[in-house]
Amino acid sequence: MLGRLNALWKRLETLESGERFQTLHREQKDKPPAVKATFLGVAIASFVAGVVFVFIPGPGFLFFALSGALFATQSSRVARALDAGEIRGRKALDSIRARWRHRSR
């Protein structure tokens, strides 16, 4: 199972920004019900782990990111929201980087 999740994560990295989660959703759409249930179960478990790690030192953000990606495989609405959020997040990060560079001169 971890090998499949690792492959999924690497696949996400290769897809185009702003389209990656919707593409992943389309690719997972025709999978058997058992695979869909497994993805959903792992997404829920990952989210719960993220909640736990928020309150104790640990990689909570990574678990939230993983659960979001897994939920996006099952929901087109979540996939669209993550793609839009990625674009807005990248723009905000670019703006912060530009300000940081300008102020550090």
CB-based burial label for 61 (10 Å; 0-12, 13-18, 19+): exposed
- The tens place of each residue's pLDDT in the chain, 105 residues long, gives 678 778 877 887 888 888 888 988 898 888 899 988 998 999 999 999 999 998 887 788 889 988 998 899 899 999 999 999 999 999 999 999 999 988 877
Domain residue limits, the chain: 2-103
Residue position matching structure tokens 């249930």: 37
The Cα–Cα gap between 69 and 6 comes to 12
Q: What is the pLDDT of residue 92?
A: 94
Check if the beta carbon of residue 67 is closer than 8 Å to that of residue 43.
Answer: yes
Check if the beta carbon of residue 47 is closer than 8 Å to that of residue 64.
Answer: yes
The Cα–Cα gap between 67 and 61 comes to 10
